[in-house]
Amino acid sequence: MSQRLAALLLPVCIIGCVLAYGQGPRKPRPHIVIITADDMGWHDVGFHGTNQIATPNIDALAYDGVILNRHYSAPMCTPSRAALMTGRNPINVGMQHYVIDSDEPWGLGLNQRIMPEYFRDAGYRTHMVGKWHLGFFNDQYIPTSRGFDTHIGYLGPYVDYWSYVSKMNSGTFEGYDMRQNRFVNYAANGTYATDYFTTAAKDIIGQHGKSGEPMLLVVNHLAPHAGNDDDPLQAPQETIDRFAYIQNLDRRTYAAMVSKLDDSVGEIYGALKAHGMLDNSIIVFLCDNGGVTRGMHSNTGSNYPLRGQKHSPWEGAVRTAALIWSPLLIDTQRVSNQWFHISDWLPTLASAAGFSVANSSFSDIDGIDQWEALAYGTGNPRQRLMNNLDEIFGYTSYMENGFKYINGSTLNGANDEWYGQTDPLDRLPSDEKYLAGVMSTTIARTAKLDEKVISYLRRHAKIDCGNEIAHQPCNPLRKPCLFDIINDPCEMHDIADEYPRLMRDIRRRLEHYRLRAAKPRNRPHDPQADPSKFGGIWTWWRTDPTVAAKQHDGEIPPPSNSLSKDTQLIVIIPIAVVGIIFVIGTLLYLSNKNIIKLCRRTKQSSTNMPSEIPTDAASSEGKPTTDAAFSSNIYVISDRDMDR
């Protein structure tokens, strides 16, 4: 019976198939735009509940997409960017310790295959705008040598927002750091960096237009990172003036820096819309690490009420503001509490684009493909998060199944407190004003956002730890601490003594991580890097000139699509016919058995163990009373009713 039906349908299918092919190729891969903020705090976006700094565009995108409420980055720039680009944990690629100063001869290993290389192979055009910070002492390390068709931006950790000068080595080395591919970009000089990068991104989108090719665009903003130490906070005066209600002048300027960044997000969205790309786009916004309220490169960023700040083992360093927006997501306008590590983006976005990076012959990906969980709101594929294990500074920050473990700290504990509480003298805008701001954005109007939905989501994305003082304060410099990070997100109560077995299990697992970790790649300062030797320009000072001469300058390679259309047709038709017969047969079989169930699958955690460490017998500490979910390995947090 099923065979007769199939025979009947077959000619229809073939005709349909040929017609469909004639009308154009398969649905094109989605455009992917990743926008990163640098050193921006948890408490510096409106969707986390503050009215101090308006970020209506970022917020509208968050409310209409998925708020990633447990998004974890590495504690500093270089490790985070390494993880984003490689899909690997920084400890496994030797990028776990500190950052690359521009006069240091090291970078992300050339044996690492990075995001734009994977996407280029999948037919993408690949563009980077803004910060690199993964090494440039040799020109083989720069973005356009590593898979990006184009790069407009700087190579080091930070520059002046107007002059693009970057000072290193206690200010004794000073040079211009701004590139257009391999060339020095002098045109940017004098234009506010956030504006320049926004224009560059819009130009790329405009030129790309409806070319039909998929686009990967990574926009790594300078904002709101501090500039050079002698003039760290910089924004146009008219923007600063809009925040006159903020008493602290540095914080006021910082608010303007964040506000310009928010404008950028709105403009990039607008450009995608104007060029007909929005319907098939994925936009990701994330922060590379927490804000810096105090100390070196302080920008007054706030992670309140989270503990700590950038460059520490605490949540304030690693739990970062993030969102994903896309018409390709099925279950949107929600707060996701699935654990997400920055290394997950590569496999996740590849999956969204229809290809896999999991088993490349180049490297083992540590990240987990969370596309299905994000798109359908199903499950929580990740149970473990290695924030960092830095043997040089001597600290470990790690989470599994909702328990966070910290041993040791940075800077002898200088970043271990709670910072960034809003000045009570600031007369903040009202909630009504906040809502009106979000609703007035193009994003909110296009998405037809509802004010009730916004208020609901905002309430659920906010972390409130009350005004409680830590009554079990932890000093990880003395002994390791453990936190129930779901019920104690602000790391106030050390519960290590209550869980001796879990502590032992964790220590054993951490030993696996430690033994498997790559040696940090850091190299000391090199006097030869001094820009004054190169006409005041930061450049690749260790490039072999004979190799450099052979490299073609700034040329964009052709896309990798190869088969001719006729060949494709000859290959596709027989495959399609066989496929259709198979599908019809299967459908008939399944409908008989009445077992078709669509979507909403819950994944078995065992198939999704992070590959960062060898799978170990799961801990069996018993059933903690705090959260029923702990009792199961399939650790599902319901997004809609987690209210903390």
The minimum distance between CB 476 and ligand NAG, in angstroms, equals: 8
Q: Which is nearer to Ca ion, 68 or 222 (CB)?
A: 222
Judged by CB under 6 A, the residue of 480, 520, 559, 585 near ligand NAG is: 480
If you ran DSSP here, which 8-state letter would residue 640 be given?
T
- Compose the 152-191 pattern: x for residues touching ligand NAG by CB under 6 A, - for all others: -----------x------------x---------x--xx-
The item of ligand NAG, Ca ion, none sharing an interface with residue 394, based on CB under 5 to 8 Å by kind, is ligand NAG
- In terms of Cβ atoms closer than 10 Å to its own Cβ (0-12, 13-18, 19+), residue 376 is middle
The CA distance from 446 to 43, in Å, is 26
> Which positions from 501 through 520 interact with ligand NAG, judged by CB under 6 A?
507
The item of Ca ion, ligand NAG, none sharing an interface with residue 427, based on CB under 5 to 8 Å by kind, is none
Name the one residue in this structure whose structure tokens are 């976006």: 45
The minimum distance between CB 87 and ligand NAG, in angstroms, equals: 12
Q: How far is CA 442 from CA 213, 267, 372, 431, 478, in A?
A: 26, 9, 28, 20, 52
- Does position 612 interact with Ca ion (CB under 5 A)? The reply is no
The minimum distance between CB 317 and Ca ion, in angstroms, equals: 10
Question: Nearest to residue 215, comparing CAs of 131, 279, 123?
Answer: 123
- Does position 77 interact with Ca ion (CB under 5 A)? The reply is yes
The minimum distance between CB 37 and Ca ion, in angstroms, equals: 8
Total residues in contact with Ca ion, by rule CB under 5 A: 5
CA dihedral 306, 308, 310, 315 (to 10 degrees): -50
- Does position 101 interact with Ca ion (CB under 5 A)? The reply is no
- Does position 313 interact with ligand NAG (CB under 6 A)? The reply is no
Total residues in contact with ligand NAG, by rule CB under 6 A: 12
- Compose the 9-48 pattern: x for residues touching ligand NAG by CB under 6 A, - for all others: ----------------------------------------
Radius of gyration of the chain (CA): 25
- Does position 103 interact with Ca ion (CB under 5 A)? The reply is no
Q: How far is CA 444 from CA 57, 65, 224, 235, in A?
A: 8, 11, 24, 26
H or E element that contains 481: strand 481-484
The per-type count for the chain, helices as H runs and strands as E runs, is 16, 18
Name the one residue in this structure whose structure tokens are 């910070």: 133
The CA distance from 352 to 3, in Å, is 35
Structural contact between residues 155 and 179, judged by C-beta atoms closer than 8 angstroms? yes
Structural contact between residues 130 and 222, judged by C-beta atoms closer than 8 angstroms? yes
- Does position 138 interact with Ca ion (CB under 5 A)? The reply is no
SS3 153: strand
Strands 281-287 and 322-325 turn out to be antiparallel
Residues in the chain: 644
The minimum distance between CB 476 and Ca ion, in angstroms, equals: 22
Judged by CB under 6 A, the residue of 23, 359, 412, 546 near ligand NAG is: 359
Q: Which is nearer to ligand NAG, 327 or 480 (CB)?
A: 480
The minimum distance between CB 391 and ligand NAG, in angstroms, equals: 7
Q: Which is nearer to ligand NAG, 141 or 176 (CB)?
A: 176
- Does position 38 interact with Ca ion (CB under 5 A)? The reply is yes
The item of Ca ion, ligand NAG, none sharing an interface with residue 147, based on CB under 5 to 8 Å by kind, is none
Name the one residue in this structure whose structure tokens are 């104690």: 488
Q: Which is nearer to ligand NAG, 16 or 394 (CB)?
A: 394
* Cβ count within 10 A of residue 270: 18
Strands 183-184 and 179-180 turn out to be antiparallel
> Which positions from 362 through 401 interact with ligand NAG, judged by CB under 6 A?
394
Structural contact between residues 292 and 44, judged by C-beta atoms closer than 8 angstroms? no
The item of ligand NAG, Ca ion, none sharing an interface with residue 289, based on CB under 5 to 8 Å by kind, is Ca ion
For residue 415, give both structure tokens: 């970043």
Could you give the angle at the alpha carbon of 224 between the alpha carbons of 273 and 99, nearest 5°?
Answer: 115
Judged by CB under 5 A, the residue of 64, 160, 288, 612 near Ca ion is: 288
Q: In terms of DSSP H, where are the helices of 158-248?
A: 193-208, 237-241
Active site amino acids: 77, 133
- Does position 299 interact with Ca ion (CB under 5 A)? The reply is no
The item of ligand NAG, Ca ion, none sharing an interface with residue 92, based on CB under 5 to 8 Å by kind, is none
The item of ligand NAG, Ca ion, none sharing an interface with residue 508, based on CB under 5 to 8 Å by kind, is none
Q: Which is nearer to ligand NAG, 193 or 323 (CB)?
A: 193
For residue 180, give both structure tokens: 């257009």
Judged by CB under 5 A, the residue of 50, 52, 185, 289 near Ca ion is: 289
Question: Which positions lie near ligand NAG, rule CB under 6 A?
Answer: 163, 176, 186, 189-190, 358-359, 394, 407-408, 480, 507
Interacting residues toward Ca ion by CB under 5 A? 38-39, 77, 288-289
